Structure 1
Amino acid sequence: MELQPIIPFEPVRTEHIPAGPEWIAQLKWDGVRMLSYCSEGQVRLVNRRLNDRTLQYPELLQPAEYCTASSFILDGELVAFDGVKPSFHEIMKRDSLRKQQSIKQAVSTIPVVYMVFDVLMADDRWVTELPLSQRQALLQDMIKPEQRLVQVVQSFPDGNALFKAVSEQGLEGVVLKRTDSAYLINGKDKRWQKRKISRDLYAVIGGVTFRDKVVNSLLLGLYTPEGQLMYIGHAGTGQLTVNDWRSLTERVKPLAIGTIPFNAKPPLLRDTTWIRPQLVVKVAFLEWTPGGTMRHPSIESIVEHITPAECTTEQLK
């Protein structure tokens, strides 16, 4: 039986952590959302935007090594680490690979862990209508505990205590879920909520600046509901390496245009080149300024799994 990929259940943002016996809290991993589909011993990996990533993670293609179910659909995040902390930049290195030899090398140089937090199907039986508490019990029975590659995400009864702990460790945030919630395919509601430590979003590049003929800063924007590209600030610091900046320089060259892609002219920076908005980055920032731009933005990674059309102001809700 061929399993058709689905768009996963999404949490909504919150600034107030719900409490009570009907709520659990889980660590929000700074990784890539990925669903794993297994049928007749064959595994397929598909991200939240329905892009196939099976070739990028060959270590997950032997399901009997980590799961007792003969068929399944698992929901979780693929995570890579920079030292002891999850790193979005590191997992993007894996996710963007396309050449077989590079992927083979990366299995050992950039190891990943599949942090699984839900199950939609087990042994040919859909379980999305079961309450989360029952799905979690099933997940614990399915995943073999003696291996490290696939781990079940731990749940905690006190969301505020978990949020305090992850804040102190500089992690991404927490996800709060009702234990009685069914799994809503292609849905988003308050039965699942997320609270982040820092602000971040996906933004499209509308312009760049140069230093010594190498890109050194990005002018970023989000699309409004009317389809206009709104300038939200520029960023030139973060986790991009010297080689990343050089590679980005080559990618923007054919995208140069003579008109400003933003709906209003941003403050001019030295050596600004406007480009067609086709490249996406994940950017973290402290807060919004009164002028509607990001304060202290930091580029986390160049992103391949999000399209420019998805870089909208809807992320701010």
Structure 2
Amino acid sequence: MEMQPVIPFEPVLAAQLPSGSQWIAQIKWDGVRMLSYYDGNHVELINRRGNRRTLQYPELTVPRSYCRANSFILDGEVIALSGGKPSFHEVMRRDSLKSETAIRAVRPQVPVLYMVFDMLYCNGVWLLDQPLSRRQQMLSEMLLPHLHVQNVPSYADPAELFSAALNGRLEGIVCKDINSTYAPSGKDKRWQKRKIISDVTAVAGGVTFRDGIVNALLFGLYDDAGKLHYIGHAGAGRMTAMDWRNLTAQAHNLTIPVMPFASLPQRSKGAVWIKPSLVFKLHFLEWNSSGTLRQPVIQAQVDLPPEDCRIGQRG
């Protein structure tokens, strides 16, 4: 395609909700950030890291069915539901697939929704310098009713939406300045996220076994000097028996003789060290004063480089 992939604008983590009439709030979806590109001839779905995901989501490959624009770039999040709520584990069942045969088999089991919240390009014109209010107006005018595509609603009262998200046990909310322009690869306080469920992307540096199968992983984050610091171990989560068997095979191939962590982890008894290459998304309650996670829960294995797992995520 002629359009070059855009690195999406990101919100910063906020401890308090912003106040003022210029702020709107939207639900923070526990899914996969996705930009949809259509140049009038071809459509591509590209994730936050610039990797193509068009194959994984065939529901979104007929652009004329969900947007009346002759060309566009939409920004949003692909989600899948479990128990009526967004589930990162479920959407990764689709996002991690590489073959059309597997995608066809899983598609009826894991339907997806594309939750669109911004429009960056429309009918040959870039909208990046337009205020968010104008971009949202364009989005509302251009999106068509579709089974798998929804326009993310905005709310004028961030505190009220945060309370609703809290009651619904959702991931959190994102507050946006309606006057904000869109800065590709940017990250600043014009967009702020307030989390209810904390998460972190961490790399495994060790495993423990039970009856020959991996039953827990030891996780770490890198500092600016490239040292891997232990942040906790986890065996609970959304992993299936098949996931654990696959992980066991991976671990056997990654075994190393030297501990990869900067210091000996608290839970090192019986641990087998592995090359830090397997990356996972974890949910947790809070950071302990020791720098470890309280009650980490594995959500899914993700296709990200280990070097992205940095201490700066603690925000």
TM more than 0.5: yes
Alpha-carbon deviation of 1:184? 0.5
Name the structure 1 match of 2:259: 260
Alpha-carbon deviation of 1:251? 1.2
Name the structure 2 match of 1:163: 162
Corresponding letter in the other structure for 2:53: R
1:106-185 matches, cutoff 5 A:
106-145=106-145, 147-185=146-184
1:297 aligns to 2:296 (yes or no): yes
Q: Distance in 1 between matches of 2:236 and 2:83?
A: 20
Q: Distance in 1 between matches of 2:173 and 2:266?
A: 36
Name the structure 2 match of 1:311: 309
Alpha-carbon deviation of 1:106? 2.1
Misfit runs of 4+, over 2 Å:
267-271
Name the structure 1 match of 2:205: 206
Q: Distance in 2 between matches of 1:277 and 1:269?
A: 16
Name the structure 1 match of 2:40: 40
Q: Distance in 1 between matches of 2:311 and 2:227?
A: 10
1:210-225 matches, cutoff 5 A:
210-225=209-224
Name the structure 1 match of 2:249: 250
Corresponding letter in the other structure for 1:227: G
SS at match of 2:159: helix
Q: Distance in 1 between matches of 2:250 and 2:140?
A: 44
Change (3 A) 1:247 1:21: same
Alpha-carbon deviation of 1:269? 3.7
SS at match of 2:27: strand
- 2:233–2:267: 8 Å Cα contact kept in structure 1? no
Alpha-carbon deviation of 1:109? 1.5
SS at match of 1:166: helix
SS at match of 1:155: coil
Name the structure 1 match of 2:273: 274
Structure 2: runs of 5+ lacking an equivalent: none
- 1:88–1:301: 8 Å Cα contact kept in structure 2? yes
1:101 aligns to 2:120 (yes or no): no
Post-superposition CA distance 1:146-186 (Å, at most 9, x none): x2211110000011111111011110000000000000011
Structure 1: runs of 5+ lacking an equivalent: none
Name the structure 1 match of 2:185: 186
Alpha-carbon deviation of 1:253? 1.1
Post-superposition CA distance 1:104-142 (Å, at most 9, x none): 122221110000000100011101100000000000011
> Percent of counterpart pairs with the same letter?
52
SS at match of 1:102: helix
Alpha-carbon deviation of 1:268? 4.2
Alpha-carbon deviation of 1:242? 1.2
- 2:13–2:192: 8 Å Cα contact kept in structure 1? yes
Q: Distance in 2 between matches of 1:114 and 1:73?
A: 13
SS at match of 2:275: coil
SS at match of 1:109: coil
SS at match of 2:220: strand
Alpha-carbon deviation of 1:29? 0.3
Post-superposition CA distance 1:239-274 (Å, at most 9, x none): 111111111111111100000001111124443110
- 2:207–2:273: 8 Å Cα contact kept in structure 1? yes
Q: Distance in 2 between matches of 1:70 and 1:176?
A: 30
Q: Distance in 2 between matches of 1:17 and 1:96?
A: 34
Structural RMSD (CA): 1.0
